[in-house]
Structure 1
Amino acid sequence: MNGTPVAEMSFEEAMKELEAVVGRLESGDVPLEDSIKLYERGAALKDHCQKKLAEAEEKVALITTDADGNPKGLQPADIK
Structure 2
Amino acid sequence: MSEKPVEEMSFEEAMQELEAVVGQLERGDVALEDSIKLYERGAALKARCEVKLKEAEEKVAAITLDANGNPSGTKPVEGL
Give the TM-score normalised by the residue count of structure 1. 0.80
Unaligned 5+ runs, structure 1: 67-71, 74-80
Give every structure 1 segment of 4 or more consecutive aligned residues whose post-TM-superposition deviation is greater than 3 Å: none
Share of identical aligned residues, percent? 75
SS at match of 1:64: strand
Partner of 2:59: 59
* Structure in which a larger fraction of residues adopt helix: 1
| Equivalent-residue separation in structure 1 for 2:58 and 2:45 (angstroms) | 20
| Equivalent-residue separation in structure 2 for 1:36 and 1:10 (angstroms) | 24
Unaligned 5+ runs, structure 2: 71-80
* Structure in which a larger fraction of residues adopt strand: 2
Aligned residues: 68
Aligned-residue RMSD, C-alpha: 1.5
Paired residue type of 1:32 = L
Give the TM-score normalised by the residue count of structure 2. 0.80
